[in-house]
Structure 1
């Protein structure tokens, strides 16, 4: 059996639990899926993009409104929105000359909300 040492937070054993390893291996997603998931988390790693998502969690907004809210240029907001669109986290719609952005779907709201709750609990 493994001896787990909490003080140094490491396992001091050399035993491989083959049944566990093999079971987990069978349930691991394909590498492409894991890379795509990693890319999503990279998008969430930028505080400006998180601020934009937070704003869009509350309401649909145009670039000008987001820029004023965050105290940034329209150009920098547009750049971040482009990344969020490529990651399929936001949608947009045109109304005349104005382009409004919103969260893509309930999945994005769930990811954002669950992450927010996790941070607030710690």
Structure 2
């Protein structure tokens, strides 16, 4: 059985494909911003918070209870999510209520979850 490699054994450039790809790729600043966005999803606590906010807007106390964590740890993660424009905050009296920033956050999460479940049906 032939072993697959992650490189070409013989250099052969396809100029038309290279040119088309370069033309359609976003600029480096945009790709950097996208990579930074995906880094935010690289933490299980932040992913759990986003998942909890699928149900409804929640105050920090509720999120801390759902995740069985302290409010200060939750607040730290919420600040990161807010700076990445993934969640928004609303003050009501002495409480801070968080919700998903927009429908794009839900779609990003759902697409990632679908991909994971496709690779591991028991996930």
Distance 2:29 2:10 in 1: 32
1:116 counterpart (89, 109, 113)? 113
Structure 2's unaligned 5+ residue stretches are none
* SS, match of residue 117 in structure 1: helix
2:104 counterpart (107, 110, 121)? 107
Offset at residue 56 of structure 1 (A): 0.5
Question: TM-score, normalising length from structure 2?
Answer: 0.91
Aligned to 2:67: 70
Question: TM-score, normalising length from structure 1?
Answer: 0.91
| Structure 1 residues 27-74: Cα deviation after superposition (integer angstroms, max 9, x where no partner) | 110111000000000000011000000000111111111111111110
Residue-pair matches, total: 118
Q: 1:80 to 1:6 in 2, by over 3 A?
A: farther
Distance 2:50 2:3 in 1: 39
Distance 1:71 1:61 in 2: 14
Distance 1:96 1:13 in 2: 67
Q: Is 2:58 the counterpart of 1:61?
A: yes
Aligned to 2:4: 8
Distance 1:6 1:98 in 2: 62
Distance 2:2 2:56 in 1: 45
* SS, match of residue 91 in structure 1: strand
